[in-house]
Amino acid sequence: MLRALANGERTVGELAEPHPMTLAAASKHIKVLEHAGLVRREVRWRTHVCRLVAAPLKEALTEVAFYERFWTARLDTLDQLLRDDDIQKASHTATRSVPTPPEGDET
C-alpha cells in the first residue's frame, strides 16, 4: 500500500484492489498506517482518499542505516568463515583422492 501511495493519492478501494482483502480489512490496515504516521486519510464526499507521509520513513531509514555497519561486519565474518571452510574441505578432499603407490612399486 505504501508503494502505491508513493505514486500519489489513492482511495481505500484502489489500495485494497491488488490484495485479496475486503474493503473493511484494507481500512484496518490503513488505520494502522495512519496510527504509525505514514498515511493521512481525507474524506472527500463519501470517498476516503489516502496519501503517503514519507518523513517517518526517512527517520526509520536513518535509524536502520546506523546498524548496517554491524550487519555488514558480521556478514563479512560469516563469508570469510564459509570460504575458509570450503578451502579446508577442498584441501582435505584433494589429499584423500590422490592414490599413494603401494610399497615396493617403483613406477
DSSP E strands: which ranges in the chain? 10-11, 39-44, 47-52
Give the whole-angstrom CA distance, residue 1 versus residue 57: 14
Cell of 2: 505504501
Digit-coded pLDDT (tens) for 50-87 = 999 988 888 888 888 888 888 888 888 888 989 988 88
CATH code for the structural domain at 2-53: 1.10.10.10
- Specify whether the CB–CB gap between 41 and 30 falls below 8 A: yes
Digit-coded pLDDT (tens) for 3-18 = 999 999 999 999 999 9
81: enclosing H helix or E strand: helix 55-97
Instruction: Break the chain into its structural domains and give their ranges.
Output: 2-53, 55-96
